[in-house]
Amino acid sequence: MANDATSHSRSLTRTEAEHRAQALQVTSYDVALDLAIGDETFSSHSTIRFTSQATSTFLDVKPRTLHRITLDGLPLDPALLDRGRVPLTLDAGEHELVVEATMPFRNDGEGLHRSVDPADGRAYVYGMSFMDAAPSIFACFDQPDLKAPYSFRVTAPADWFVAGNAPAREAGGDGRTRQWELGPTPPLATYFVTLVAGPYHHLAAEHDGIRLGLSSRQSLAASLEREADELFTLTRQSFDELHRLFGVRYAFGDYHQAFVPEFNAGAMENPGCVTIRDPLLYDSGTATRADRSFRAALVAHEMAHQWFGNLVTPRWWDDLWLNESFAEYMGYRVVADATEYDDAWLHQSYARRTWGLTADCRPTTHPVAGNAAEDALSALQNFDGISYSRGSNVLRQLATRLGDEAFLGGVREHFELHRFGNATMHDLFGSWERAAGVADLDDFVRDWLLTPGPDTLRVEREAAAVIRTSPAAHPAQRRHLLDIAVHRDGGWQVEPLVLDGPTTPLAAGDAPVLLDARETTWALTPPDALTMAALPRLVPAMTAPQLRATTWNSVRLALFDNAVDVRDVAELLVAAPPVEDTADGVRNLLPWALDTALPLCPGGTTGRFHDAVRAATDAAVKGSELQLSAFRATILTSADAAELERWAAGASLPDGVAGDLDLRWKARRRLAEIGATDRSALDTALAEEPSGAATVHHARAVASLPTAEAKAFAWQRATGEVSVPNYEIEAAGVGMWRPDQRELTAPYAAAYFEELDTLIAAHQGWVQGVVLGAFFPISHLDDATAAAARRALERDLPGAVRRRLTDHLDELERRRAVLNGG
């Protein structure tokens, strides 16, 4: 018997994966899980059948306790387990491994995550096997190119619902528990394997011979019932469009979409059983069109993965970008062309573009394709805005260049050649070259996929030209096809422009100009001084939605790059507060205005902005999304404690705004930020209206209080002294760093670097990165914090930690440059 619960596992290297893939061929997995033995652990019994060459290799398993392991009926010593691996010496031929272990339930959104709903005390379980979490559920050879069929036998409490990669069949029980059987599945990579189990509320439907399912926590049952018609409709429409585009049937049986608690990503494309973060059920009932468009694109994104990623899987993680870029492009395309959300590309502009371009400007930028990704954890760090947003933009450009007949023809050939197998980027581009009848796409691949960093396109008035420059460290000769918007004769005129070289004539005179008006290329396009000065006058009257999105993205990125005067940004925020971006998500426009731009603007700007959004609330059509968006901003910039108290109680709301949990907690959070409430009042509010969403709001509000106790509350979650689920940890970190509370947080700004080893050791995987980001002292724009960050980077750090610190130091330095005027 061996215990491995406290040891950190090793990350699989590419060399190890290549050796194991050459030596092994996995025939099948049979996995038995007993989820009813307790609240902390579950039992896992894995039988793996495979053939091998004569070789030395290893098995991946990350148990709480490893009880027994046999190879071809002969016992192996469980004490051989070392940091998640059991060494194996194999003869050539067929083999059978049997592994019995006790595994830990996790609360970090990975492995088999167990969550207790604050609303009713019910427990829910779901599996997240992505990257390197599968071995904490079952023993396996954990890499993407050792695919195999899976069969599961699951024992669960009698009142639980079970779903997975194959339809679940009841197979008996004893009254206290029920047994379920699933599979065998088609061949799957380990990182796709999932299980959803608990007292979930579930709904069923059917389309084109495919059984459809939806599930959620019982406390969200009313939301699921309300949303089901839209979700099933989107699923049906997306299946029809994807079948039309790909010419290949969905290959994984049922299609269940499980809305699960405390999920790290937006969703995960597990074949047959997609898992989705359950805040996307919009339990408040006040979701905007932008919210719903984002969710629609996510639904279609995961469905596109059933072909690109699941049917054909990357051989190694360096091609993970293809999964995400392709699903990102196809998801928005399908939603725009086949659903009611025909403005999906507009919402993509707000939600994704600046995420990708800022990542591409960091010191840690990397090629879209061809990353070294020497081990799995290093690859995870490249799972970013470059992989999603830039990659999808490049594929959109390629589809335009090749035309749909060749673009989709190449994709169809790719699916036919590699069905249920693995492939590389070069395999796909070979199919595109054959479909398009071109000798090669090497120049396109080199400039757009292999060379990192965006070009910068600038209007030069004296030269009467657009100047294109690429980063000095990453020179490229890219050809840009774009539209420009020129303000003439009282309106914006949009016209095409091709940039074939470093200088392209543009005779705009003194007219304001916005480059890449429809955001079809990939570049920074900062407004020149003349245009920036005119925007406060022009934007309030700008009616074209995409042009408004382009304008704000250009300004956001220009401030990020210190390419505009922050005083001009302040005037634009006051003249035209960006309430048109009505989605209340983490990457949208209002959070940027509130959390990034306003703290850098001249004193008094926040008050002026508050007056502007209050006026926008009053001027908006009652009951409209613009009114709701403006009112949210009004709450989050108010300094009137009495008014905030009334809003927190659901009283005195503007006519047309429906009070809900989200608005009530926004008011309580703002009361906390200005020191007009206390921990006791926040605790009482949570106790009176407990839910998963309220628990996360509460964590952020408490951490925002201007007290030493509040900052200690947050820090205990960073160091692991207090163990809470992933959403609460992140919320506490985000709430902790208030620019107006620097005296209180100064000790923690120093402690972040002094206790860095503690922060690293307290968390793993996805959540480790979240903690390092959320608790970075971003509000401390001083020399000491910057110096401490630079000293930390001189240390020998894990690659994932180094990536996070480098990016956050870069953000700190950029904000310091804006604040210091240079």
Q: Would you name the residues annotated as active-site residues?
A: 302
Q: Taken in order 138, 141, 146, 148, is the CA torsion positive or negative? A: negative
CB count within 10 Å of CB 626 equals 16
How far is it, in rounded angstroms, from Cα 524 to Cα 535? 18
Q: What residues contact 746, with CB distance under 8 A and at least 6 apart? A: 780
Instruction: Report helix, strand or coil for 169.
Output: strand
**Which three-class secondary structure string do you get for 410-447?**
HHHHHHHHCCCEEECHHHHHHHHHHHHCCCCCHHHHHH
CA-wise closest residue to 151 among 107, 92, 114, 193: 193
Query: Phi and psi dihedrals of 410, rounded to 5?
Result: -65, -40
SS3 585: coil
Q: Which two tokens stand for residue 537?
A: 């006058």
CB 474 within 8 A of CB 502: no
CA distance 311 to 309: 6
Q: Which residues contact residue 687 at a Cβ distance below 8 angstroms, ignoring those fewer than 6 apart?
A: none
CA nearest 135: which of 99, 170, 163, 180? 99
Q: Are strands 161-164 and 195-198 parallel, antiparallel or unpaired?
A: antiparallel
What residues are paired with 743 via a beta bridge?
none
**For residues 677 and 644, is the Cβ–Cβ distance under 8 A?**
no
Q: Is 623 left (phi over 0), alpha (psi -120 to 50) or beta?
A: left
Considering only CA atoms, which of 708, 677, 674 is closest in space to residue 606? 674
601 secondary structure, DSSP code: S
* DSSP one-letter string for 652-721: SPPTTPPP-HHHHHHHHHHHHHTT-S-HHHHHHHHHHS--HHHHHHHHHHHHHSSSHHHHHHHHHHHHTS
Do 260 and 278 meet the contact criterion of CB atoms below 8 Å apart? yes
Taking each helix axis as running N to C, give the angle between helix 425-436 and helix 404-417, from 0 to 180 degrees, rounded to the nearest 10: 130
Phi, psi of 175 (to 5 degrees): 95, -45
Token duo for residue 219: 């406390």
* Closest residue by Cα to residue 211 from 249, 252, 244, 152: 252
Burial class (CB in 10 A: 0-12, 13-18, 19+), 688: exposed
C-beta of residue 786 within 8 angstroms of C-beta of residue 809: yes
For strands 273-277 and 267-268, give the pairing: antiparallel
**Hey, is 590 helix, strand or coil?**
helix
Report the C-alpha gap between 485 and 493 in whole angstroms: 5
**What radius of gyration, in Å, describes the C-alpha atoms of the chain?**
27
Q: Would you give the DSSP letter of residue 299?
A: H
3-class SS shares of the chain: helix, strand, coil, % to 5: 45, 20, 30
| Burial of 77 (C-beta count, 10 Å sphere; 0-12/13-18/19+) | exposed
Alpha carbons 308 and 129: distance in angstroms, whole number: 18
First to last CA, the chain: 62
